[in-house]
Amino acid sequence: MKLHILLLLIILQSFAKQVFAQKQIAITIDDLPTVSRIMNTDALRAELTDQLLGHLKQHKVQATGYVIGEKLVKDGKIIPAQYGLLRKWLKAGHSLGNHTFGHLGINDISAAAYEADVLGADTLLRGFLHKEGAELKYFRHPYLHRGNTAEKRDSLEMILAKYKYIQAPVTVDNDEYLFAAAFDKAMGSKNQLLADSISKTYVNYMMDYVHYYESQADSLFHRRIPHILLMHANLLNSKALGQLLSRLEADGYQFVTLQKALEDPCYLTEDQYIDKRGISWIHRWAITIGKKGAFFKGEPTVPKFVSDLTQ
């Protein structure tokens, strides 16, 4: 009897540790070296990069950045300044991954064309990273597309396995790119008041999304899981990332690496979602087990004043 009670206490203690564990989140940043219509010179791109890296350093974040290969070349020639920006990321202790050469989604092209796009970025990155003492192992799907047919999904799996890539999922997906476009427009027209409003609204919006997916993950797994947040190397984040990271810390989040997050068994959950939309892995897993409309209610939306600025 005493043994049974002891075993029960051990099980309950283990469960409690999972349920009440500190919240964790990995920061992942797409479209490196930079993505901004107005930060379009070497000096401005370096400024944007330095500001992003400054926020990450201040909050002791080790992020993973995903590089678009075509941003590293022009007319078939390497752009040294762009590689210089990647060195800044590596020197700051961050890891870099493959985001394809031309940012093409597999839903829109053949499997052969997709493999060529993966390999195009691989060729530009693998040797460079090796020389810098780093490794190329993570892959982020453009548009979070993993195939709109079973055949394309299976082809994608084979392609990434062939080049030994670890797929980088996203649990906290969002429409940050709309805020970024609106912010670029405001800054380009020197409307600082509007830019500040967009930035403040953006941080609140992102926290709403974190809470939305946090609640859904708790419902699916009955415990806390380490989340993976998607954002981009844009002007908006060069200004607002520090505020967002501070809010996450105040909300109880600890920043972890992508590698650490992926150690959680939740990322082995079956994903049978096949559709044209790129969505959060939380929703992929939910759809796979048959969750219906009510489960997905409450998703944050982009305010009209922001979306109007992108027209």
Cβ neighbors of 248 (< 8 A, separation 6 or more) are 25, 207, 210, 255
Top pLDDT among 253 and 9 is at: 253
CA distances 214 to 133, 177, 225, 228, Å, are: 35, 21, 8, 11
In this model, does residue 12 exceed pLDDT 60?
A: no
pLDDT digits (tens, 9 = 90+) for 214-242: 999 999 999 999 999 999 999 999 999 99
The pLDDT confidence band at residue 20, using thresholds 50, 70 and 90, is: low
Mapped onto helix, strand or coil, the DSSP state of residue 228 is: strand
In this model, does residue 14 exceed pLDDT 80?
A: no
Question: Helices (DSSP H) in 92-191: which residue ranges?
Answer: 111-131, 150-162, 176-188
Question: pLDDT value at position 21?
Answer: 76
Average pLDDT of the chain is: 95
Question: Among 13-22, 51-60, 89-98, 193-202, whose mean pLDDT is lowest?
Answer: 13-22
> Which candidate, 119, 125, 85, 83, places its Cα nearest to that of 102?
119
Contact assessment for residue 131 and residue 172, using Cβ atoms and an 8 Å cutoff: no
Q: What is the amino acid identity at position 61?
A: V
> Which candidate, 111, 113, 112, 118, places its Cα nearest to that of 152?
111
In this model, does residue 76 exceed pLDDT 50?
A: yes
In this model, does residue 19 exceed pLDDT 90?
A: no
Give the span between the Cα atoms of 7 and 1, in whole angstroms.
10
Question: pLDDT value at position 271?
Answer: 98
Number of Cβ atoms within 10 Å of the Cβ of 88:
15
Give the span between the Cα atoms of 144 and 69, in whole angstroms.
17
Encoded tokens for 288: 């796979």
